[in-house]
Structure 1
Amino acid sequence: MVKTIQTFTARLLCLAAALFFFSTLNAQFNLNDKIAVDSNVIVGKLSNGLTYYIRQNKKPENKVELRLVVNAGSVLEDSSQQGLAHFMEHMNFNGLKHFPKNEIVNYLQSIGVKFGADLNAYTGFDETVYILPIPSDDAAKLDSGFTILEDWAGNALLDTAEINKERGVVLEESRLGKGAGERMRTKYFPELFNGSLYAKRLPIGIDDTLKNFKPATLERFYKTWYRPDLQAVVVVGDIDPAVAKQKIEEHFSHFTNPANEVPRPSIIPIPMRTQNKAMVLTDKEQTNTILQVFNYVEKDTPVVTWNDYRQSITEGLFNAIIGQRLRELTQQANPPFLFAGTSFQEFIRGYRAFTSFIFLGDKPVQAAIDSVTKITEGVKKYGFLQSELDRAKLSLLNQTESAYKDADKTESSRFVDGYVNSFLEGTPITGIANRYKFLQQVLPTITLAEVNAVAKKMESTQGKFALLMAPDNAKDLPTDEGLLTALNDAYKQPITAYTENAVGTSLLDKQPVAGKITSEKKNAELGTTDITLSNGISVTLKPTTFKNNEIQFDGWRWGGYQNFPLADKFSAQNAASIIQSMGVSNMSPTDIGKFMAGKTAGVQPYINTSEEGIQGSCNVKDVETMLQLLYLYATAPRRDDNLFKAFISSQKAFIQNIQANPNSYFSDTLTKVMYNNNPWASGIPKPADYDAINLDAVMAVYKKIYSNMYGMHFTFVGNINVDSIKPLLALYLGSLPGKQKENKFTDVGLRPVKGVKDFTVQKGNEPRSTVNIIFTGDAKFSYEDALKLDMLTEVMNIKIIEQLREAMSGIYGGGMGGLITARPYNHYSVTVRFPCAPENVDTLTKALFVIIKDVQQNGVAATYLEKVKANIREQYATDIKNNDYWLSNLSSAFIDKQNPDWILKYNEAAQAVTPKDIQEAAVKYLNMNNYIKAVLMPEK
């Protein structure tokens, strides 16, 4: 391979010149002009002040994304209302003018909208946003969607009985957040926000207020802040914009603002910090050491003109380059941290900050600070290299070009957040076409001197706030004063200029010798082409038009790490990840990353319990690069002792204290009990497990698997030209080593315990419990039975939410999930999980068992099953036009030796499932004589 940085730089300069020529011919952006709203978006305002955003978008078809955005969150609460902005969000699902009690959820489930996954909402410090995807091919359903938004905006009933029922649900949500993070947050938020109101108005609120507030207090918040001049309706999807506008006018024009409305502050003041401050906090349940340094906080400057946008691009390039330098430090034999970042970023509404974040693991604090400071000070003193800036520009342009090429195939949900942010924070709606064209024009004009000048913004006369959070058993932690000293001492170290090695101009030293295509067969119904190569590799090609600029692949066969001796378990289990951390051929991951500037292609080998393979994705223009990477991962895994040590060091540091977290400890204990301490069971690894990994064994495992690719089946899905890709497949896949052999996995005899097993784990300080119930047993795998199990669990989830959450107010979230598999033996597993108060464990568990028994003995009402079918219909209509769905199901059909025609028959089969099928599935898979019940309880 020829490596010359001059050649690479010349290529970049040629591209830059071409861009400059293009932009000169097509210049259309005056930097002093205000950024106009994307012409694809209609932005308007009703006479009462309500703002609306409308965009017609036909992906997915027959669906529209609706949002109600309320410019009011927890920071607007008074002292008696703490937590009520969020509580109000809950009440908008528990009694509306047109949907009393819980009818909103009931109705939406009946038309295929799933609670939680589809229908949702969130409350932040400054805003509350309601989320509703709705079918748009039925006028009645569409109008109901707008009616729901209308009710959310101003027609909440706030019934006292419903409020009192919901207290328990919200308190359970509060319970979920309790732990090390919450305990430390209570201590550092006042300092982080420097006495601002934000420190006293966390969205979840105060438990005492949630238990005892009067309904009138909630109603006062609602009537004060839920008003049209603080609200926006966002409509994106398969809908005529004229119809959308008409619906908005019909449903929202009648709302009025209060006569004596309370002004909504544009921003909440945060005092400037005048002195440096540090806090070192420890907690017995904290799993890792994390350092955050807020160098300064300042009022954000809005992006109004194209020149403002150009400046934000310049800062983005700065962030990207400094981030790359920090990533390179993690590839030392003993890295100074697990990962780190330093950048300009949004802090809170109306403010931004220059921050550094260091995830230390068990690394020394001073060494980590020194390493990051050496990077930032080096940038201040010496600046960046031109080659670094060139690569950052190429990467940014490539990312934007990719989005531009798929503009007409972008999902509606991906547009929504931009319009929400425009309403709440005034961010411009440039549109991808304008953004791409502007980058083509402006990127060549951004100089290295300009990007280097951004470093001056790292300096400030403000005081810093440094926060170190660590496990209470962490060694050699500084005091608060010691942390400030460490930060100051870091500036005293000598600073040297950054250098880099030459970047390769190609991945391969020489072209491989192509194999041959020995057979080709088309499946007209599936739209696929199946080919076989001379080395025993088979390929399925599925050309689609779902995305213009996306190709994905997955190649796998039976095998896996359980084919190797138990003594090599961790070496085999981690072999693929370790190889990826070391690179391929004579290129490290850093070298590969630099070579890939301006390209989009990635490849990842994997080794699971009973499968082994390699997967990846790319843009259309980079398909050959992706295949070259695939070829190298199979034929030229790179050995690097230092990067191996870096991998082991980082993994050990990451998991060293992970079992201090009660949920992690509980999960690990459950695995041990469930499999009777079988060493093949995959619990949470320990540092000693990583010490047992041997690089010689890793290389031997990896080469044994990938040095013979016979029997590997590759599935390619996306914007594929079959005739164009076939020669590339013959060259890069057909040339892989392949010698006939039997591909198989090993059944190591790992089985769950039989009978009823009931045990309790005591861990954690907070009054919080988790119930896990796992049903297991033998069952022959088939697509039909897997579908019935899935539908059973969905029916049960509706019932669990109805009873345990809505009727009993005992949980916030929880549910059931299940699977059937033929590997390594035919069996099923169904898990029910829900967090709750310790005192409610027995009551809620009994209620769950009553539901199960009722379904087994009496079946389910057709209405429950119809809700599940409706959701499957809606989801299938979207999935069947999705590359991910086709890749997953075509690949699974091969590995499971099933007929891939099921992809086309799935929805039809689901609609044919009967209540009797669900009842029989409940009897079969929820065997009350064979389950494990594990309960996490707090320590006494």
Structure 2
Amino acid sequence: MHLSKLKHLLFLLFFISISQLTFSQFKLTDKLVTDPDVKIGKLPNGLTYYIKRNTKPEKKLQLRLVVNTGSVLEQPDQQGLAHMMEHMNFNGSKHFQKNELVNYLQSIGVQFGADLNAYTSFDETVYILPIPSDDMDKVDKGFTILEDWAGNALLDTAEINKERGVVLEESRLGKGANERMGKKYYPLLYNGSPYASRLPIGKDSIIQNFKAESLIRFYKTWYRPDLEAVVVVGDIDPKVALEEIIKHFGQFKNPAPEIVRPSIIPIAERKQDMGMVLSDKEQTFKILQIFNYVEKAKPVNTWSAYRETVVEGLFNALINQRLNELTQQADPPFIFGSSSFGGFSRGYRSFVSIAAIGDKPVNDAINALVATNESVRKYGFLKSELERGKMSMLNQTETAFKDKDKTESAVLVQGYINNYLTGSPVVGITNRFAFIKQVLPTITLDEVNAVAKKMETSQGKFALYLSPEKDVSQLPSNTELIKLLASAHRVPAKAYQEKAVANSLMDKKPVAGKVISEKKNATLGTTDLTLSNGVTITLRPTDFKNDEIQMDSWRWGGTHNYGLADKENAQNAAIIVQQMGVKDMTPTDLEKFLSGKTVSAQPYMNPDDEGIQGTSSIKDLETMLQLVNLYFTQPRKDDKLFQSFINTQKGFIRNLRDNPGNYFSDTLAKTEYNNNPWAGGLPKAADYDKISLERVTKIYNEVYGNAYGLHFTFVGNIDPDKIKPLLETYLGSLPSKQKENKFTDVGLRPVKGVVELSVNKGAAKQSRVSVIFTGEAPYSQDENLKITALTEVLNIKIIEKLREEMSLIYGGGMGGSLVKRPYPHYSISAGFPCAPENVDKVIAAFFGIIKNAQDNGVEQKDLDKVKETLKKQNEDELKNNDHWLTVLSESWIEREDPIWIYNYGKKVQALTIQDIQQAAKKYLNNQNYIKAVLNPEK
């Protein structure tokens, strides 16, 4: 029997066997069931609650207050006040005066912004609060905070006036090309509905001048229990959670009379095709969007309707696979293309085609999108495509099911929010996996092909084309855009052709090497191996995830070893090989072969090091190792795909400097390193003209043709005894010849002294302040921790002073670290977007905070807040595969004992205010920094 037929038969037999086990479990006519592990209910006043016990992570609780109101419900004098109300809930309530809320949460390790947050959209406002659950006092205060958000805001006039400036700064951040063009196309996109004129950020003029009465009226109208839900997910007894909800929310009453909240905001059906072409001098990409129609979404409340979503999901995956293949042409019609059914606004859905276009004209993208859509509509998909789609969907669902007890609470919580707001199903992963196993074998090719018939309706289309202004002479008019679309639809559709997909990655297994030494570390739980070809390996089994294995490898080397003449070739060598594939398989061939598998592997070359990274499930570990082996032994060379990469990159970077932020960052990088050509910054199109396929492949083969000195680290659900034969086969067989692995210090150093940079770029009234402190300093983990603590303590003061007290910024802050290679040094940077007229005030306040820390030290309460945050972060990281992989890899690189991972908490607790003051004096040198300011064009 032919191998592909055998594979298909085995797949069908697998489906049949598992579906027989569950076939009677779901009747399509039945109503959907709710995840039995989630308690959903309502209080007598109408407040909805969701409670789910989840111990990933332990002793943590995710709380949400969901308010079923947003900007679309604002009256003319309230535009922006839904968002303003969100801000005011952090600035004074019944139980937390002024800034006491943020202060309290910081004291228990909850960071403002990173943890504690909220968002306002057209239709809802959601408050986000993660808290520790190891102390019932903290838990009760968490529910008290939600209670205050739900109905106890003070809305003090003085606090309102202070917060106006913060909200205006947030509004300022969004100004630019997208905002300017959005205001022009929203009325057409939303076809005259209130969505077009009720953007969540609102109007600056109203934020500046609204009366407190307008905000209070909005609050009293829409913040009420029958429009609110409390979501509780985490390590808590559900009975206790319900008691807390009743205690804190049962007393709220709905207003009488109350305004009815519309379930959806109507959007009128488009009667004719419409086009809009817009340009802006700061737009960096050409973007095409075709909205084929907008229709009301049907409720998904039966298993039959749920099955339709599965069929539609398969359709979306298959059509986008075809569009992705077009990006690998030598001269691709777009950088990225997509067509899919999905949500539009609450209660509505649409079929949308999107393309990000490089240097090609828009008609090429239109033709490619329409041709793909029409080919599917007329000829449908191939049976092989559907089989791969089913395998991928089954694999994704099975992976989620295997890790159902290891899924983070923060991931689970979003499903319950969506259920409350839109009625989306919460069947739970156990039911979903059982259902997917049951229905996938019953879904036919005809069913999936029938979805394509829904792409075209009698409704008018809306085509939107956004372009950089420099291309204005090549732009079609609004009418011409619609004509191009109509012309593309008149081209006869062509059937899709597919070449056979490989049945295996390797023709035969390589000759295995041997493990020649093995050493266990009981304290760390690691096993170190040395293979006969000189490759070394660290294994760290964990149970943090049930079906995850992560891999990293490293050795000294990197792009700097190849000198300036080969800079572009070396920097892109590993990336380009990934774009060409391995063996006789293109990236498209690989993607198809890997359908139904959880596998990735990516070679990389950094300035000073090189290696390969990857991930896999347990069952696909061997496939990942095979792919790793092939990247070393059989990288593929393909002139067409090489040219595709070059053309795509040129199109991608062509207009990046037109964005003020990009231009500023690029100029700052050049200034910091005195125009050193190694300094990085944004590439130019001419840089890609320097890249040669021959040179790229030669460099890649020099690096990856010899595995000597590579150290691999594996973290996850691995059995050291079972994995060893695979490592011997696929890593032990890698070509290896003894050599010196080293990196080259190219002398890249920042400028010294005080350097000031002023850049004028951009039309919007926006400025940005950047300050960078650098210097040489011996590396140690203790000192690196002090820099982390220093910047976090100062970030608390930045929020207090620049945001809450002075209303000069919405966001901003500091970060930094010590680096050991290529020379021991530190870098600490700070950034603050602000109004042009406030630049000097921001700079003065920031340096005032630094000087105070240097002269007077920092407050113990602020250091305690940071220590509590770092402690909580460390507790989470000790049970995280990503963190262990990073620690073990970096410890090997720096030849340090990774045992410090267990001592980190003690190091944090040992920090003193004297340590932070000394660090401020040592690392924030007022004689050696760069101060850069971006202002709008004059």
Q: TM-score range by the shorter chain?
A: over 0.9
Structure 1 position 672, deviation (Å): 1.0
What is the aligned counterpart of 1:913 among 911, 914, 935?
A: 911
Aligned to 1:844: 842
What is the aligned counterpart of 2:166 among 151, 156, 169?
A: 169
> 2:136 matched to 1:139?
yes
Structure 1 position 565, deviation (Å): 1.8
Moved more, 733-742 or 334-343: 733-742
Aligned to 2:17: 21
What is the aligned counterpart of 2:933 among 914, 932, 935?
A: 935
Aligned to 1:769: 767
**Residues 627-646 of structure 1: matches in 2 within 5 Å?**
627-646=625-644
Structure 1 position 620, deviation (Å): 0.6
**Residues 376-525 of structure 1: matches in 2 within 5 Å?**
376-474=373-471, 476-525=474-523
Query: What code does the residue aligned with 1:19 have?
Result: F
Query: What code does the residue aligned with 1:462 have?
Result: Q
Which whole-Å CA distance do the structure 2 matches of 1:764 and 1:127 have between them? Answer: 32
Structure 1 position 17, deviation (Å): 2.9
Structure 1 position 376, deviation (Å): 0.8
For residues 422-455 of structure 1, what are the alpha-carbon distances to aligned partners after superposition, in whole Å with 9 as ceiling and x for unaligned? 0000011010010000011000000000000001
Aligned to 2:701: 703
Which whole-Å CA distance do the structure 1 matches of 2:18 and 2:62 have between them? Answer: 37
Which whole-Å CA distance do the structure 2 matches of 1:16 and 1:230 have between them? Answer: 47
Moved more, 286-295 or 472-481: 472-481
Which whole-Å CA distance do the structure 1 matches of 2:896 and 2:196 have between them? Answer: 56
SS at match of 1:122: strand
> 2:277 matched to 1:274?
no
**Residues 862-873 of structure 1: matches in 2 within 5 Å?**
862-873=860-871
Which whole-Å CA distance do the structure 1 matches of 2:148 and 2:332 have between them? Answer: 55
Which whole-Å CA distance do the structure 2 matches of 1:932 and 1:201 have between them? Answer: 41
SS at match of 2:627: helix
Structure 1 position 363, deviation (Å): 1.1
Aligned to 2:878: 880
SS at match of 2:827: strand
- Is the CA contact 1:535–1:736 (under 8 Å) kept in the aligned structure 2? yes
Which whole-Å CA distance do the structure 2 matches of 1:368 and 1:588 have between them? Answer: 23
For residues 521-559 of structure 1, what are the alpha-carbon distances to aligned partners after superposition, in whole Å with 9 as ceiling and x for unaligned? 011110000111111111100000000000001001111
Which whole-Å CA distance do the structure 2 matches of 1:17 and 1:270 have between them? Answer: 47
Which whole-Å CA distance do the structure 1 matches of 2:553 and 2:398 have between them? Answer: 28
Aligned to 1:563: 561
> 2:792 matched to 1:794?
yes
Aligned to 2:4: 8
> 2:735 matched to 1:743?
no
> 2:270 matched to 1:292?
no
Structure 1 position 380, deviation (Å): 1.2
Which whole-Å CA distance do the structure 1 matches of 2:814 and 2:255 have between them? Answer: 45
For residues 384-441 of structure 1, what are the alpha-carbon distances to aligned partners after superposition, in whole Å with 9 as ceiling and x for unaligned? 1000000000000000000000001111111000000000000110100100000110
For residues 344-377 of structure 1, what are the alpha-carbon distances to aligned partners after superposition, in whole Å with 9 as ceiling and x for unaligned? 0100000000110011122111111111111111
For residues 542-585 of structure 1, what are the alpha-carbon distances to aligned partners after superposition, in whole Å with 9 as ceiling and x for unaligned? 00000000000100111110000201101100111111010011
Query: What code does the residue aligned with 1:797 have?
Result: N
Which whole-Å CA distance do the structure 2 matches of 1:536 and 1:99 have between them? Answer: 62
Moved more, 612-621 or 360-369: 360-369
Query: What code does the residue aligned with 2:683 have?
Result: P
Structure 1 position 808, deviation (Å): 0.5
Aligned to 2:230: 233
> 2:185 matched to 1:193?
no
**Residues 247-262 of structure 1: matches in 2 within 5 Å?**
247-262=244-259
Segments of 5+ residues of structure 1 without an aligned counterpart are none
SS at match of 1:473: helix
Which whole-Å CA distance do the structure 2 matches of 1:822 and 1:873 have between them? Answer: 25
> 2:396 matched to 1:375?
no
**Runs of at least 4 residues of structure 1 off by over 3 A?**
none
Aligned to 1:336: 333
Which whole-Å CA distance do the structure 1 matches of 2:800 and 2:463 have between them? Answer: 46
- Is the CA contact 1:9–1:387 (under 8 Å) kept in the aligned structure 2? no
- Is the CA contact 1:288–1:362 (under 8 Å) kept in the aligned structure 2? no
Structure 1 position 25, deviation (Å): 3.4
What is the aligned counterpart of 1:690 among 674, 688, 691?
A: 688
SS at match of 2:118: strand
- Is the CA contact 1:71–1:231 (under 8 Å) kept in the aligned structure 2? yes
Query: What code does the residue aligned with 1:611 have?
Result: D
Which whole-Å CA distance do the structure 1 matches of 2:517 and 2:507 have between them? Answer: 30
Segments of 5+ residues of structure 2 without an aligned counterpart are none
- Is the CA contact 1:315–1:451 (under 8 Å) kept in the aligned structure 2? yes
SS at match of 1:574: helix
SS at match of 1:20: helix
Structure 1 position 495, deviation (Å): 2.0
Aligned to 1:364: 361
Aligned to 1:244: 241
For residues 743-780 of structure 1, what are the alpha-carbon distances to aligned partners after superposition, in whole Å with 9 as ceiling and x for unaligned? 11100001111100012000000110000000000011
Aligned to 2:83: 86
Aligned to 2:156: 159
Aligned to 2:654: 656
Query: What code does the residue aligned with 1:826 have?
Result: P
Which whole-Å CA distance do the structure 1 matches of 2:448 and 2:904 have between them? Answer: 53
Query: What code does the residue aligned with 1:911 have?
Result: Q
Aligned to 1:804: 802
> 2:788 matched to 1:781?
no
> 2:313 matched to 1:312?
no
Which whole-Å CA distance do the structure 2 matches of 1:558 and 1:370 have between them? Answer: 47
Structure 1 position 12, deviation (Å): 2.6
SS at match of 1:461: coil
Structure 1 position 887, deviation (Å): 0.4
| TM-score of the pair, normalised by structure 1 | 0.99
Which whole-Å CA distance do the structure 1 matches of 2:909 and 2:891 have between them? Answer: 21
SS at match of 2:490: coil
- Is the CA contact 1:607–1:613 (under 8 Å) kept in the aligned structure 2? yes
Query: What code does the residue aligned with 1:306 have?
Result: W
Structure 1 position 861, deviation (Å): 1.1
Structure 1 position 9, deviation (Å): 4.3
What is the aligned counterpart of 1:217 among 201, 214, 223?
A: 214
Aligned to 1:62: 59
> 2:815 matched to 1:817?
yes
Aligned to 2:598: 600
Which whole-Å CA distance do the structure 2 matches of 1:410 and 1:12 have between them? Answer: 32
Identity over aligned residues, as a percent? Answer: 63
Which whole-Å CA distance do the structure 2 matches of 1:292 and 1:22 have between them? Answer: 41
For residues 877-929 of structure 1, what are the alpha-carbon distances to aligned partners after superposition, in whole Å with 9 as ceiling and x for unaligned? 11100101100111111112221111111111111011111011111110000
Query: What code does the residue aligned with 1:617 have?
Result: T
Aligned to 1:730: 728
Which whole-Å CA distance do the structure 2 matches of 1:925 and 1:12 have between them? Answer: 63
SS at match of 1:921: helix
Which whole-Å CA distance do the structure 1 matches of 2:701 and 2:268 have between them? Answer: 60
For residues 219-239 of structure 1, what are the alpha-carbon distances to aligned partners after superposition, in whole Å with 9 as ceiling and x for unaligned? 000000000000000000000
- Is the CA contact 1:290–1:361 (under 8 Å) kept in the aligned structure 2? no
Question: Alpha carbon RMSD of aligned pairs, Å?
Answer: 0.8
Which whole-Å CA distance do the structure 2 matches of 1:520 and 1:783 have between them? Answer: 28
> 2:200 matched to 1:203?
yes
Query: What code does the residue aligned with 2:12 have?
Result: A
Moved more, 128-137 or 371-380: 371-380
Which whole-Å CA distance do the structure 1 matches of 2:548 and 2:32 have between them? Answer: 30
Query: What code does the residue aligned with 1:386 have?
Result: K
SS at match of 1:552: strand
- Is the CA contact 1:170–1:812 (under 8 Å) kept in the aligned structure 2? yes
SS at match of 1:393: helix
Aligned to 2:586: 588
Which whole-Å CA distance do the structure 2 matches of 1:701 and 1:916 have between them? Answer: 50
